[in-house]
A and B are shown apart, each in its own frame.
Chain A
Amino acid sequence: LAKTTQPISMDSYEGQEVNITCSHNNIATNDYITWYQQFPSQGPRFIIQGYKTKVTNEVASLFIPADRKSSTLSLPRVSLSDTAVYYCLVGDDLRGTNAGKSTFGDGTTLTVKP
């Protein structure tokens, strides 16, 4: 897997948009970018996956510039319940059996304040 770099922690307030950026300078042509969310004492939960440009689902957006050397997870109007650790994974074909061989980095701890 390509090495990723994320901020260790971020603070935000309820109702704000939060953008978490992940750097992955050595991303390869076949690599996908996947984000997971983890609450204390729970397993990580899939948020979103993308390859290029922009992907949006019901909970988040993922922005990937043309050079794909970074990606930004955008959480619109966060609430207190979005306080969690967010992990960025980059690897070739994070699908099927390859999806389960990823080692997560230390992630970004997001704290949402009232």
Chain B
Amino acid sequence: ETGVTQSPTHLIKTRGQQVTLRCSSQSGHNTVSWYQQALGQGPQFIFQYYREEENGRGNFPPRFSGLQFPNYSSELNVNALELDDSALYLCASSGVSVRTNTGELFFGEGSRLTVL
């Protein structure tokens, strides 16, 4: 149990539609990162939000956008969905862990998106 929750857990969309995925970060963490994980591959970094501002972006097109709210929860929005957007979308919150003194990432269970 990481304290990071994501919703919805599964969803099905059709090409061209838009989707919003949500993430609640672990208590005390002000940084949320989003990842896309295609089947059989490792997670690919989409972008990160730190104190409500985008703080780094991976190689993803502008139709992938996000928000972070004052309570540090976050949303990932994807417009004009394509078949290749079908994947597990993960969010992770982070901060220097008191337990491990490392930049440990705490992941949610993910949102499985299927685009038909």
Residues of A within 8 A of B (CB): 32, 34, 36, 41-46, 49, 57, 85, 87, 93-107
Query: Which residues 32-74 of B have a CB within 8 angstroms of A?
Result: 32-33, 35, 40-45, 48, 50, 55-56, 58
Question: How many positions in chain B have a CB within 8 Å of any CB in the partner chain?
Answer: 34
> Which of B42, B100, B109 sits near A106, CB closer than 8 Å?
B42
Residues of B within 8 A of A (CB): 2, 4, 31-33, 35, 40-45, 48, 50, 55-56, 58, 88, 90, 92, 94-96, 100, 102-110, 112
Chain A minimum-CB-distance residue to B112: A41
Chain B minimum-CB-distance residue to A91: B103
- Excluding A97-B94, A104-B43, A105-B42, 8 further A-B contacts by CB distance (< 8 Å) are A42-B109, A46-B100, A49-B100, A101-B45, A103-B44, A104-B35, A104-B42, A107-B42
Chain B minimum-CB-distance residue to A49: B102
Asked if B48 and A43 make an inter-chain contact with CB atoms under 8 angstroms apart, the answer reads: no
> Which of B43, B100, B102, B109 sits near A103, CB closer than 8 Å?
B43
Given A94-B103, A96-B103, do A41 and B48 touch, yes or no (CB 8 Å)? no
Asked if B107 and A45 make an inter-chain contact with CB atoms under 8 angstroms apart, the answer reads: yes
Enumerate chain B residues within 8 angstroms of A103, measured Cβ to Cβ.
42-45, 58
In the complex, what distance in Å separates the CA atom of A41 from the CA atom of B44?
15
Chain B minimum-CB-distance residue to A50: B102
Given A41-B110, A42-B110, A95-B102, do A100 and B90 touch, yes or no (CB 8 Å)? no
Given A87-B42, A99-B94, A100-B92, do A46 and B104 touch, yes or no (CB 8 Å)? yes
